[in-house]
């Protein structure tokens, strides 16, 4: 597992991504935080292994305090466990709190050997964010898969969220959002700068080439949409078409708008 973490830390761009490591057994401990300036790979290689109970809920709640309060950066938690937690009910409660956090923290779960799939699915933001391995040797096989998911998977929005999209440079910057509608009747999208959105009801990676409908948002304006039937998820690719960064705000609710 340490080899997997070290490889993960070695391939991410340190100018774009900050990494923290929190361990857990009977207790949980922030091994190093997001502002750590020392060599991450060396720190991970020196990571001690602690025995004890599997108090996953403590680690998930601890992770909530490891992030800063801004909503402008993508925040990701990857939970790695080799057993069922000491208290699965408390773990689900902690995971639900993590996923409902207004900072839109994306949760991934990797299970090894004795881990239980139902608990991994409870921890993760979606089933696509779950990996189950037969043993620790299998970590080397999933590095590229996990990196791809972490870097490209859409940002899950459960009730509301604010996401910053960088300004247009050589290419138009974009982000894919996954709206967890779960039967809710409408959603609203607003943008500080002019932006364009491509919506899909079944394609998890909509784009300018593949979408169900699209719309533009004027600077400082918002667009409101009602949905005519039950959807568990709706996928939105948002493109910033201006030179400066824009802040996108999403609101999911039960209001019915006349489109």
Q: How much of the chain, in percent, has pLDDT values that exceed 70?
A: 95
- Tell me what pLDDT residue 17 has: 83
Quick check: helix, strand or coil at residue 68? coil
pLDDT at residue 216 greater than cutoff 80:
yes
CA-based radius of gyration for the chain: 19
Determine the average pLDDT of the residues in 107-133.
Answer: 91
Share of the chain above pLDDT 90, in %: 42
Q: What are the structural domains of the chain?
A: 2-153 (3.40.50.410), 156-253 (2.60.120.680)
Note the pLDDT of residue 114: 84
Alpha helices, DSSP H, located in the chain: 2-11, 40-45, 56-66, 88-100, 117-123, 139-152
How far, in Å, CA of 206 to CA of 193, rounded? 21
Q: Hunting for tokens 């990196």 — which residue is that?
A: 147
The sign of the torsion formed by the CA atoms of 182, 201, 131, 63 equals: negative
Please state whether the predicted TM-score (pTM) of the whole model is above 0.75.
no
Residue 152: what pLDDT?
A: 66
- Calpha distance 102→204 (Å, rounded): 22
User: How much is the pLDDT for 252?
Assistant: 92
- Categorize the per-residue pLDDT at 121 as very low, low, confident or very high, splitting at 50, 70 and 90: very high
In whole angstroms, give the CA distance from residue 31 to residue 10. Answer: 17
- Distance CA(222)–CA(192), nearest Å, equals 9
Per-residue pLDDT tens for 44-70? 999 988 889 999 999 999 999 999 876
Answer for the pair 122, 90: CB distance below 8 angstroms, yes or no.
no
Computed over every residue of the chain, the mean pLDDT equals 87
C-alpha distances in angstroms, 228 versus 92, 185, 199, 222, 224? 31, 7, 15, 20, 13
Please report where in the chains the tokens 């922030």 appear, as a residue: 30
Phi then psi for residue 192, to 5 deg, are: -70, -35
| 231 φ, ψ (degrees, to nearest 5) | -130, 135
- Quickly state the pLDDT bin for 172 (edges 50, 70, 90): low
Average pLDDT rounded to a whole number, residues 20-35: 94
Sheet with 160-165, strands from edge to edge, namely 160-165, 246-253, 186-191, 222-226
Cα torsion 60, 123, 251, 235: sign: positive
**CA–CA gap between residue 177 and residue 179 (Å, rounded):** 6
Q: What integer is the mean pLDDT of 167-186?
A: 79
Inter-residue contact 178 to 235 (CB < 8 Å): yes
Residue 111 near residue 82, CB atoms below 8 Å: yes
Dist CA 171 CA 193 (whole Å):
17
Q: Residues 174, 233: contact at Cβ < 8 Å?
A: no
* pLDDT score at 153: 67
């Amino acid at each position: 597992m340490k080899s997997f973490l070290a490889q993960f830390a070695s391939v991410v761009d340190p100018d774009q991504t900050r990494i923290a490591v929190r361990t857990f057994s009977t207790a949980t401990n922030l091994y190093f935080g997001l502002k750590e300036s020392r060599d991450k790979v060396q720190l991970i290689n020196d990571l001690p292994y602690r025995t004890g109970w599997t108090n996953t809920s403590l680690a998930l709640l601890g992770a909530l305090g490891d992030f800063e309060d801004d909503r402008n950066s993508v925040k990701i938690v990857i939970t790695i466990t080799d057993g069922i937690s000491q208290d699965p009910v408390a773990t689900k409660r902690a995971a639900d709190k993590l996923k409902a956090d207004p900072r839109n923290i994306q949760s991934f779960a990797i299970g090894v050997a004795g881990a239980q799939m139902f608990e991994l699915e409870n921890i993760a933001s979606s089933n696509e964010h779950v990996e189950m391995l037969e043993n620790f040797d299998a970590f080397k096989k999933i590095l590229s898969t996990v990196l791809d998911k972490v870097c490209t998977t859409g940002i899950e929005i459960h009730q509301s969220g604010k996401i910053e999209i960088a300004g247009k440079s050589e290419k138009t910057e974009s982000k894919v959002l996954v709206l967890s509608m779960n039967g809710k009747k409408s959603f609203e999208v607003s943008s500080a700068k002019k932006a364009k959105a491509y919506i899909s009801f079944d394609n998890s990676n909509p784009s300018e080439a593949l979408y169900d409908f699209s719309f533009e948002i004027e600077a400082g304006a918002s667009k409101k949409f009602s949905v005519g039937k039950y959807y568990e998820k709706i996928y939105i690719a948002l493109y910033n078409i201006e030179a400066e960064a824009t802040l996108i705000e999403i609101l999911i609710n039960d209001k019915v708008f006349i489109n």
